[in-house]
Chain A
Amino acid sequence: MGEETTTLGSINISPSALATIAYHATLTSYGVVGLAPKNLAEGLAMTITHEPARGVSVSYNGEEIDIDVHIIIEYGTRLTSVAESIANAVRYQVEKALGMPIHHVNVHIQGLHISDPD
């Protein structure tokens, strides 16, 4: 995916490279306290590998790139605002690095982390 042909050859950008950028953009977003595995299999994989893109998936259907992030949010923040900020940050950082438009950034809130129940 993200293929570009130049006179020197072609450049390929793998989904996991994009996932890494998205992962970092998500983690530095305010309100995010962690990423979550999207299913049990990935949860198991996360415990044995140190894949930096856990909780992030990138899909490419030949035309459009979609990014899904699965996150855990701090309890007591406004979920919609936090999710919007994440979607903006991920889109901005990935598009800046890639130079191609991202079709959708989907933010899945998998859980809440409660530091202070008030």
Chain B
Amino acid sequence: MNPGVQTRLEHFYSTPMIDGQTLKKMLEAGLIWLRANHQTVNLLNVFPVPDGDTGTNMVLTMQSAYNEIDKLGNHGVGQMAAGISQGALMGARGNSGVILSQLWRGFARALHNQEVMDGPALVRAFSEARDTAYKGVVRPVEGTILTVAKDTATAAATALLETDNPFEILVRIIPAVDASVERTPDLLPVLKQAGVVDAGGKGLFYILEGMLRYIQGEPLDAPTATVQPLSAMNLKNAMEDIEPGQDFEVVVDFIPTRELNLKVFYAELEKMGTSIQVGEGEGMYRMHIHVPTENRNKPTDYILGLGTITKIAMENLVAQMESIKKKSGSHIQLTNLEPGQIAVIAVSPGPGISRVFASLGVAAIVEGGQTMNPSTKNLLDAFENLPTDKVIILPNNKNIILAAQQAKEVTVKKVHIIPSQNIPQGLSAMMHLNPDGDGETVAAKMIKSLGDVIAIEVTIATRTVEIDGVAVEQGQVIALVNGILAVATGTVEESCLAALEKAGAAGHELITLFYGMDLSATEANRIVDVIRAAYPAQEIELQDGGQPHYQLIISVE
């Protein structure tokens, strides 16, 4: 324990009062701890539809509460709580968020205008929070966050009989809150059927536990040892968090002979490697870990002492990584979204173009393009789990705009669709992204920017036809300028030059070419040299786009 923490603990015990600044710190800790564990809460959902992602909704509500008091200076605990209540109300998302905001409202009311909060005041605040929350519904459903709030208030009142130090009360109620969450399936049959505890109740537990961890000086960044349902274990993304020295992935299925002590189990595994995940289903456990080469047998040996091993799988991650790299080029690093920021979803036809979109800050990429239009569900899946409700979709193809509109109608999130008809328009729109801005304003800027760029697409004609006054024979190279057929020639090079001329490239500054999978890098470089000679005043860039069907996609701006 570091010295700062030591003094903090001593301070809390020598001065048994919560002041405004301490409440603010506690709220922040509750928010951080909830955020660290919000995926665990999200996984507890019973219904596929109502209330979307409970964990995310609660994080957004707490974030809004924190933003409200972030700038507040030295104020009493009453005013601080009033700010929290106000912020939570304004930012309440989903059912659990609304209930959480009511809890804060009651909490704040009990502390009206007080400078500091002692033990009895904390207990009053908890019971007022419970009463206020219960007033918000005619038929309270037990086995939900309401029940957990009720049990919290009861546990606080019990603790007050033995101590009036508010920090000590908090220490004592946490086990009762935990037990209350564990009891929720007994009260609500639908939870029992799904084999989960109530998500909102669990979220409330993490908030209170985060506050306690702050007081006790425990770290807030790592999620605790948890077991998830087997079906929820996601090992597919394991490749993304591979660390140097963690060369082998080991997955062991086993049936423990006696009940597993999770804390000890995790602690032992942490000595061997990283990326630990534990899943459980019908008595069978699955352990997942990344270990360095010399440790590759250690997890298996350790688990052998705990029970019966039914299956062992071991893979060399380094070798796997190499082959993935060969296939898809280097890894695409998407933007990590802060809760509440704007998430941009871009539809991209090739890995190279995806990389460019990723470097410009998109939160998710959906593969698709001319002949492989993504479904509404593909688009929904890309953003439903992101920790924000502000979404902007860049369809980058006119055939995909409709699917995007349907996604907008189905979701409860606030979706703006930028009707980008091609990749250059999508990239141009990305230049105007301000992730912390207002969705409406940012979308308007992006839409306005679509006209800033001219798009040229070069491909091979699949049939003989005459469109837009241009006669085309099957097999000829054609170029479209802003979606309109402009030229039909014998070679890619000729098409490029003719299309650039039609687009008036001489009057612009930057020409970017994305070459597709059907064009070799050598050929692309040769064409760029020709263009450079024809347009000496312009800056020319070449990128590996990797898209199918289109030999070249060119952006002129």
Contact = CB atoms under 8 A, between A and B. Distances in A.
B198 to A, nearest CB: 13
A52 interface: no
A115 B101 CA distance: 16
A74 interface: yes
A77 B105 CA distance: 9
B92 A81 contact: yes
A70 interface: no
A29 B96 CA distance: 11
A interface: dominant SS:
mixed
A78 interface: yes
B412 A76 contact: no
A54 interface: no
Contacts of B90: 78
Given A29-B137, A76-B89, A88 B50 contact: yes
A71 B137 CA distance: 12
B216 interface: no
B551 interface: no
Contacts of A89: 50
B93 to A, nearest CB: 6
B412 A28 contact: no
A77 B95 contact: no
Interface residues of B, number: 25
Contact of B136 (A33, A92, A118): A33
Interface in B53-106: 89-90, 92-95, 97-99, 101-102, 105
Interface string B257-272: 0000000000000000
A32 B138 contact: yes
B51 A88 contact: yes
A32 B139 CA distance: 9
Interface in A42-70: none
A92 B46 CA distance: 12
B99 A30 contact: yes
Contacts of A115: 132, 135
Nearest to B106: A116
B187 interface: no
B89 A118 contact: no
Contacts of B99: 30
23 contacts: A29-B95, A30-B99, A31-B98, A32-B137, A33-B136, A33-B137, A74-B136, A74-B137, A77-B89, A77-B102, A77-B136, A81-B94, A81-B95, A81-B98, A85-B51, A85-B98, A88-B49, A88-B50, A88-B412, A89-B50, A115-B132, A116-B132, A118-B105
Interface of A: 27-34, 74, 76-78, 81-82, 84-85, 88-89, 91-92, 115-116, 118
5 A-B pairs with least C-beta separation? A78-B92, A74-B136, A88-B50, A92-B49, A115-B135
